[in-house]
Amino acid sequence: MSYLFPTYARWDVEPEKAIGSYMTDKNGKEYLDFTSGIGVCNLGHQPAKVKEAVKKQLDSFWHVSNLFTMEQQEIAAKILASAAEMDAVFFSNSGAEANEGAIKLARKATGKTKIITFENSFHGRTFATMSATGQDKIKQGFGPMLEKFVYVPFNDIEVLKTEMTEDVAAVMIEIIQGEGGLNVGDASFFNELQKLCTDNHILLIVDEIQTGIGRTGKPFAFQHYGLKPDIVTSAKGLGSGFPIGAIIGKEYLKEYFGPGSHGSTFGGNPLSVAASIATMNIVFQEAFLKDVIVKANLLMTELQNSLTSSPIVKEIRGLGLMIGIELTVPVQTILSELRSNGLLALPAGDKVLRLLPPLTISDSELEHGLSIIQTVLKEYSKTAV
């Protein structure tokens, strides 16, 4: 009997050790990890520089509270804000908390309440972020939701236009919908979206919780499209596995988040901040990001070449090292077959196989992962058609 609430449909794999791109389970079976702890361990498992920074901080202090000035928080905020081309940071513990705070900030700064989000979006599990999420299954049994969220189809500028009314505080968007099916936004759509937000004085909030921290080959995915968001949220890869999230905003927003307006006991925890500085110092280097693009191109090209003709593959899409393979069959069976063959991967919705390999993955590890995917899909398609 388990004493845990059964909120997760857990896999039958119990990790014993994880280093670099690999995990070994309690039975000694080795897996190549294309999940990165769901987009968290972007530098692989146990990156040395991050471990070293956390150990050093552990020997100084690991919690004192946000009543104190902490140099490390200032350093982390400067690196993060500069990478996002913004000016102010609030540290939270998770992605949902970052989005929750972003929603509060947008309401306070505009004095308005309506927030437009997108069908199939995912923004978190707290009340405001669940309300912002454009998927009914996430909300089942928890109603009523927070008011004033409306959902429009992703990549549909005409429907969006009809909702850009005077009472709109913000548009909140993912550049790639990760949980909702690995749906990639169109450049032309983002272009129009930015124009609409600027012209109507509506805040643009970009949820970069899954797409940020180098995952797509830029510090943040919005930078592929020249967007100028007012608020960006980050988490997952920001601390390489130590819990940290962030609201990143423009200078003018500082006045709406004055003393006492928002807070978090654990937000900006010194250990997480140390992990975050070490992570960002690696990921935001130009050469590192260039390398992510090279690997991403290799992976995408090989997937396209080997799988496009498969009868069970509908589409392969993605940006950087965030790739989705849309299948004609349920993804859970494929994931289980991949695990049997030594590869850990993720679902995105019911039929999309989501690949989030570590950004540090080597070419030979990529080839190894590819060959497992090719073998499993080939074998499965024999029985499925």
Which residues form the interface with ligand PLP (CB under 6 A)? 94-96, 99, 122-124, 174, 178-179, 207, 209-210, 235
Q: How far is the CB of 138 from ligand PLP (least distance, A)?
A: 11
Please name the residues in contact with 206: beta carbons below 8 A apart, sequence gap of 6 or more: 172, 173, 174, 175, 220, 222, 227, 229, 231, 232, 233
Q: How far apart are CA 160 and CA 117, in angstroms?
A: 9
Alpha-carbon dihedral angle through residues 44, 50, 54, 57, given to the nearest 10 degrees? -170
When the beta carbons of 124 and 249 are compared against ligand PLP, the nearer one is 124
The owner of tokens 């393979």 is 325
Which amino acid, one-letter code, is at 199? D
Query: At 259, is the secondary structure helix, strand, or coil?
Result: coil
Which residue's Cβ has the minimum distance to ligand PLP? 95
Give 96 or 370: the residue with its C-beta nearer to ligand PLP: 96
Q: Give me the least distance between CB of 279 and ligand PLP, in Å please.
A: 15
Considering the complex, what minimum distance in angstroms separates the CB of residue 259 from ligand PLP? 26
Q: Which two tokens stand for residue 65?
A: 């509270």
Q: How far is the CB of 327 from ligand PLP (least distance, A)?
A: 21
Among residues 95 and 134, whose Cβ is nearest to ligand PLP?
95
Q: Provide the minimum distance between the beta carbon of 4 and ligand PLP in the complex, in angstroms, as a whole number.
A: 17
Closer CB to ligand PLP, 222 or 380, in the complex: 222
Cβ-count burial 156-188 (b if 16+ within 10 Å, e if not): ebeebeeebeeebbbbbbbbbbbbbbbbbbeee
Q: Closer to ligand PLP by CB, 183 or 360: give it.
A: 183
Binding site listing for N(2)-acetyl-L-ornithine: 125, 264
What is the Cα–Cα distance from 354 to 366, expressed in whole angstroms?
15
